[in-house]
Amino acid sequence: MGSFILRRLVNLIPTLLVVGIIVFIITRMIPGDPASVMLGPQASVEDVENLREELGLNKSMPSQFISYVARRARPRPRAAAPATAARTRRARRTRPPSAAPGG
């Protein structure tokens, strides 16, 4: 039983690597520049270049892939998404007092 689990774990490594490569390639094949899309049509060329630098989109593909794998492998603390947290704060401010918990 232990050798079966060990073999499955060893087989998991190349599977995850292949899936990671496929996902990386597919996301890079999407038409358009991610920085331009994120900033919108009103963004200046300088703003787009700054965001490309910040996101690492101006690096070579192998370098981008290594960064991609490193980000996926690094454990992240679990926290509420910023948009969700902002929505929650906004909802608390706008909720009528009668709808407050315990009220």
**Structural domain containing residue 81:** 2-97
Share of the chain above pLDDT 90, in %: 23
pLDDT at 78 over 80: no
Residue 76: inside a domain:
yes
pLDDT at 19: 93
Residue 103: inside a domain:
no
Contact 54, 34 (CB under 8 A): no
Cα 53 to Cα 3: distance, rounded to the nearest angstrom: 46
Read off the pTM: 0.57
Handedness of CA 47, 49, 54, 57 (dihedral sign): positive
Q: What is the mean pLDDT of residues 59-64?
A: 90
Residue 102: inside a domain:
no
Contact 48, 39 (CB under 8 A): yes
Tell me how many domains the chain contains.
1
Residue 32 DSSP code = S
Q: Hey, which bits of the chain come out as E strands?
A: none
Residue 83: inside a domain:
yes
